[in-house]
Amino acid sequence: MKTNRTIWKPALMIASVFLLATLPGCFTTIYYVPHGTPVQIAEDVEDVDVWVKDKETGEKVRSRMTLPAGWFALPLEANDHTKTAKPVADDGKAK
């Protein structure tokens, strides 16, 4: 019986070390960014809703674009956006 126990003890230690080494990678890490702090985009983000000013009227219109890596993102102020923006067609022109 002593030989059976000596085989399982190292195997259990190896399995424990393996689990401890691999499990932390399975969880999501969350970083808190205080409100108002700019963040830099690490990789391209495709098909993002954005607000842009119309060249002719100067009004804010909703559009879509790819945000490239390296750009900075800032939070909106309470009155910085509008829910009454004009919808944008696929060709990028306001309807």
Q: What is the pLDDT of residues 13-36, one digit of tens each?
A: 888 887 777 776 666 677 787 878
Going by C-alpha positions, the residue among 49, 28, 38, 48 that lies closest to residue 72 is 38
Q: What is the pLDDT of residue 24?
A: 65
**Does 64 reside within a domain?**
yes
**Does 79 reside within a domain?**
no
**Does 31 reside within a domain?**
yes
**Does 53 reside within a domain?**
yes
3 state DSSP class of 49: strand
**Does 83 reside within a domain?**
no
**Does 81 reside within a domain?**
no
3 state DSSP class of 14: helix
The domain of 8 spans 2-73
Residue 10 confidence (pLDDT) above 90: no
How many separate domains does the chain show? 1
Q: Which residues contact 38 (CB under 8 A, 6 or more apart)?
A: 72, 73, 74
**Does 17 reside within a domain?**
yes
Q: What is the pLDDT of residue 70?
A: 93
Residue with tokens 């990789």: 43
**Does 35 reside within a domain?**
yes
8 — phi, psi (to 5°)? Answer: -75, -30
Residue 8 confidence (pLDDT) above 60: yes
